[in-house]
Amino acid sequence: MFDVPEIDYLAILPLIIVFAGGLIGCLLEGFLHRSRRPNAQLWLSIVTLVAALVAVVWVARDNQGITAAGAVTIDGPTLLIQGLVLMLSIIGLLAMSERLGGTNPDAFTQAGVSVPGSVEEADAVRLGGTTTEVYPLTLLSVGGMMLFPASNDLLLMFIALEVLSLPLYVLSGLARRRRLLSQEASLKYFLLGAFSSAFFLFGAVLLYGYAGSMRLDVIAEAIGTQTVMDGLLVPGILLLAVGLLFKVGAVPFHSWVPDVYQGAPTTVTGFMAACTKVAAFGAMLRLLYVGVEAARLDWQPVLAAVAAVTMVVGAVLTIVQTDVKRILAYSSIAHAGFVLTGLIAMQQVGASSTMFYLMAYGFMTIPAFALVALVRSAGSEATHISQWAGLGQRAPWMAAAFSFLLLAFAGIPLTSGFTGKFAVFAAAIANDYAWLAVIGVLASAVTAYIYFKLIVTLYFGDRKNDTVVVTPSALTTFAVVSGVLITLGLGIAPAPLLDLAANAAHFLR
Amino acid sequence: MSVLETSVGLALADPSAVRAVEATGTSALAWLLIALPLLGAALLLIGGRATDSFGPLLATLLSWGSFVVGALIVLQLSGLAEDERAMSVPLWDWVTAGDLSVHAGLLIDPLSMAFVLLITFVGSLIHVYSLGYMEHDPDKRRFFAYLNLFVAAMLILVLADSYLLLFVGWEGVGLASYLLIGFWNHNPAYASAANKAFVVNRIGDFALIIAMAYMLATFGGLDFATVHGSAGSASTTILTIIGLLLLLGACGKSAQFPLQSWLGDAMAGPTPVSALIHAATMVTAGVYLVVRSQAIFDLTPEARLAVAVVGAITLLYGAIVGCAKDDIKKALAASTMSQIGYMMLAAGLGPIGYAFAIFHLITHGFFKAGMFLGAGSVMHGMADRVDMRRFGGLSGMMKITWLTFMAGWLAILGVPPFAGFWSKDKIIESAFVDQGNGAWQAWVFGLVALIGAGITAFYMSRLFFMTFHGKARWEDDVDPHESPLTMTVPMIVLAVGSVALGFILSWRGTFASWLEPVTGHVEHHEPVLSVPVIMGLTLVLVIIGGAIAWLRYGRDEVPVVAPVGSFATRAARQDLFQDEFNENFLRRPGASLVAGLEVADDDVIDGGLVGGTSRGLAGVADVVRRAQNGFVRTYALTMLAGIVAILGAVWVIQ
One-character DSSP codes across B146-196 = HHHHHHHHHHHHHHBSBHHHHHHHHHHHHHHHHHHHTTSTTSHHHHHHHHH
Q: Is A495 on the interface with B (CB under 8 A)?
A: yes
8 Å CB contact of B198 and A494: no
Which amino acid, one-letter code, is at A459?
Y
- Residues B468, B425 within the same domain: yes
Phi, psi of A73 (to 5 degrees): -115, 125
8 Å CB contact of A460 and B94: no
Q: Report which DSSP code applies to B92.
A: E
Among chain B residues, the shortest Cα distance to A315 is held by B621
Phi, psi of B430 (to 5 degrees): -65, -35
Q: Residue A47 CB: number of other CB atoms within 10 A? A: 12
Contacting residues of B for A429, CB less than 8 Å apart: 213, 216-217
8 Å CB contact of A452 and B195: yes
Among chain A residues, the shortest Cα distance to B639 is held by A253
Which of B198, B620, B639 comes nearest A196 by C-beta? B639
Contacting residues of A for B216, CB less than 8 Å apart: 426, 429
pLDDT, one tens digit for every residue, chain A (509 residues): 677 888 888 889 999 999 999 999 999 998 998 888 889 999 999 999 999 999 999 988 887 888 888 899 999 999 999 999 999 999 999 999 988 888 888 888 888 888 888 888 888 888 888 888 999 999 999 999 999 999 999 999 999 999 999 999 999 999 988 888 999 999 999 999 999 999 999 999 999 999 999 999 999 999 888 777 888 899 999 999 999 999 999 988 998 999 999 999 999 999 999 999 999 999 999 999 999 999 888 899 999 999 999 999 898 888 888 899 999 999 999 999 999 999 998 888 899 999 999 999 999 999 999 999 999 988 888 888 888 888 887 888 898 899 999 999 988 888 999 889 988 988 888 888 888 988 888 888 788 878 888 887 887 766 677 888 888 999 999 999 999 999 999 988 888 888 888 888 888 88
- Residues B457, B497 within the same domain: yes
In a domain, B300, yes or no: no
In a domain, B377, yes or no: yes
How many Å apart are CA B338 and CA B343, to the nearest integer?
Answer: 9
- Under a CB-based contact definition with an 8 Å cutoff, are residues B277 and B262 in contact? no
Residue window 444-473, chain A: list those with CB within 8 Å of chain B: 445-446, 448-449, 452-453, 456, 459-460, 462
Domain boundary among B568, B596, B611: B568
To the nearest whole Å, the CA of B586 is away from the closest chain A CA by: 16
Please tell me the predicted confidence (pLDDT) of residue B8.
Answer: 35
Please tell me the predicted confidence (pLDDT) of residue A135.
Answer: 95
Tell me the Cα Rg of chain B.
25
8 Å CB contact of A235 and B93: no
- Residues B522, B596 within the same domain: no
8 Å CB contact of A192 and B632: yes
- Residues B615, B557 within the same domain: no
To the nearest whole Å, the CA of B231 is away from the closest chain A CA by: 19
Q: Report which DSSP code applies to B277.
A: I
Cα distances (angstroms) measured from residue B444 to each of B297, B312, B348, B494, B630: 21, 9, 14, 34, 61
Domain boundaries, given as residue ranges, for chain A = 13-504
Please tell me the predicted confidence (pLDDT) of residue B616.
Answer: 59
In a domain, B348, yes or no: yes
Interface test with B, best of A262, A317, A435 (most B CBs within 10 A): A317
8 Å CB contact of A449 and B654: no
Which amino acid, one-letter code, is at A64?
Q
- Residues B402, B495 within the same domain: yes
In a domain, B21, yes or no: no
How many Å apart are CA B150 and CA B145, to the nearest integer?
Answer: 9
Contacting residues of B for A306, CB less than 8 Å apart: 646
Q: Residue A190 CB: number of other CB atoms within 10 A? A: 20
Which of A252, A349, A448 comes nearest B638 by C-beta? A252
- Residues B642, B538 within the same domain: no
Please tell me the predicted confidence (pLDDT) of residue B609.
Answer: 40
How many Å apart are CA B434 and CA B527, to the nearest integer?
Answer: 6
How many Å apart are CA A350 and CA A339, to the nearest integer?
Answer: 10
Q: What is the pLDDT of residues B84-130, one digit of tens each?
A: 777 888 877 777 655 666 778 888 888 888 899 999 998 998 898 88
Contacting residues of B for A442, CB less than 8 Å apart: 206
Please state, rounded to an integer, the average pLDDT across all residues of chain A: 90
How many Å apart are CA B150 and CA B170, to the nearest integer?
Answer: 10
How many Å apart are CA B82 and CA B519, to the nearest integer?
Answer: 12
8 Å CB contact of A255 and B627: yes
How many Å apart are CA B487 and CA A173, to the nearest integer?
Answer: 63
- Residues B491, B552 within the same domain: yes
Q: What is the pLDDT of residues B2-53, one digit of tens each?
A: 333 333 333 333 444 445 677 777 777 888 888 899 898 888 887 777 777 8
Which of A235, A256, A494 comes nearest B95 by C-beta? A494
Interface test with B, best of A169, A172, A251, A320 (most B CBs within 10 A): A320
In a domain, B257, yes or no: no
To the nearest whole Å, the CA of A336 is away from the closest chain B CA by: 17
Strand partners, B133: none
- Under a CB-based contact definition with an 8 Å cutoff, are residues B406 and B336 in contact? no
Interface test with B, best of A196, A416, A460 (most B CBs within 10 A): A460
**CA atoms lying within 13 Å on the CB side of residue B496:** 7
Q: Residue A99 CB: number of other CB atoms within 10 A? A: 16
Which of A191, A256, A422 comes nearest B95 by C-beta? A422
Output the CA angle A46-A48-A51, nearest 5 degrees: 105
| Pairing mode, strands A375-377 and A72-74 | unpaired
Please tell me the predicted confidence (pLDDT) of residue A468.
Answer: 87
8 Å CB contact of B206 and A413: no
From B253, B241, B426, select the one nearest B346 (Cα to Cα): B426
With a CB cutoff of 8 Å and minimum separation 6, the contacts of B114 are B358, B362, B511, B514, B515
8 Å CB contact of B618 and A429: no
How many Å apart are CA A303 and CA B483, to the nearest integer?
Answer: 66
To the nearest whole Å, the CA of A64 is away from the closest chain B CA by: 24
- Under a CB-based contact definition with an 8 Å cutoff, are residues B363 and B499 in contact? no
- Residues B563, B610 within the same domain: no
With a CB cutoff of 8 Å and minimum separation 6, the contacts of B316 are B338, B341, B448, B451, B452, B455
- Under a CB-based contact definition with an 8 Å cutoff, are residues A129 and A111 in contact? yes
Which of B600, B620, B635 comes nearest A192 by C-beta? B635
Which of B93, B97, B627 comes nearest A349 by C-beta? B97
- Under a CB-based contact definition with an 8 Å cutoff, are residues A501 and A356 in contact? yes
Q: DSSP string of B434-449?
A: --SS-HHHHHHHHHHH
| Pairing mode, strands B21-22 and A468-469 | unpaired
Residues of chain B under the 70 pLDDT cut: 1-20, 96-101, 185-199, 560-562, 564-627
Q: Is A413 on the interface with B (CB under 8 A)?
A: yes
Strand partners, B87: B21, B108
How many Å apart are CA B451 and CA B458, to the nearest integer?
Answer: 11
8 Å CB contact of A188 and B209: no
Contacting residues of B for A422, CB less than 8 Å apart: 95, 97
Please tell me the predicted confidence (pLDDT) of residue B526.
Answer: 76
- Residues B468, B523 within the same domain: yes
Provide the domain count of chain B: 2
8 Å CB contact of B95 and A459: no
Q: Which domain holds residue B634?
A: 580-653
Among chain A residues, the shortest Cα distance to B620 is held by A316
- Under a CB-based contact definition with an 8 Å cutoff, are residues A73 and A286 in contact? yes
Contacting residues of B for A255, CB less than 8 Å apart: 627-628, 634-635, 638-639
Which of A259, A427, A446 comes nearest B630 by C-beta? A259
Q: Report which DSSP code applies to A214.
A: S
Q: DSSP string of A38-73?
A: HHHHHHHHHHHHHHHHHHHHHHHHH--EEETTTTEE
8 Å CB contact of B97 and A427: yes
To the nearest whole Å, the CA of A371 is away from the closest chain B CA by: 20
Residue window 288-307, chain A: list those with CB within 8 Å of chain B: 298, 301-302, 305-306
ipTM value of the model? 0.86
Burial B196-218 (b: 16+ CB within 10 A, else e): bbbbbbbbbbbbbbbbbbbbbeb
Contacting residues of A for B617, CB less than 8 Å apart: 316, 319, 446
Contacting residues of B for A434, CB less than 8 Å apart: 213, 217
Cα distances (angstroms) measured from residue A183 to each of A267, A415, B148: 16, 36, 51
Q: Is A259 on the interface with B (CB under 8 A)?
A: yes
Q: What is the pLDDT of residues A95-141, one digit of tens each?
A: 999 888 888 888 888 888 888 888 888 888 888 888 889 999 999 99
